[in-house]
Amino acid sequence: MLRLGQRVYIVDDSLEQNLPIGEYGYIIAYDRNSDNIFDYVVRIPNHNRHVLVPSDDIETEEVVLAQEADMIEREALLDFALATRNEELFHRLMNGEQLEPVEEVSREVNSQEHFIKQINLKAWI
| pLDDT tens, position by position, 41-58 | 999 999 999 999 999 999
Query: Residue 74 pLDDT more than 80?
Result: yes
- Say if pTM beats, i.e. exceeds, 0.75: no
Average pLDDT value for residue range 9-22: 92
Tell me which residue of 78, 86, 4, 90 sits closest to 41, measured CA to CA.
4
50 sits in which H/E element: strand 49-53
Which of the four pLDDT bands, split at 50, 70 and 90, describes residue 108? Answer: low
Query: Residue 109 pLDDT more than 50?
Result: no
pLDDT of residue 26: 96
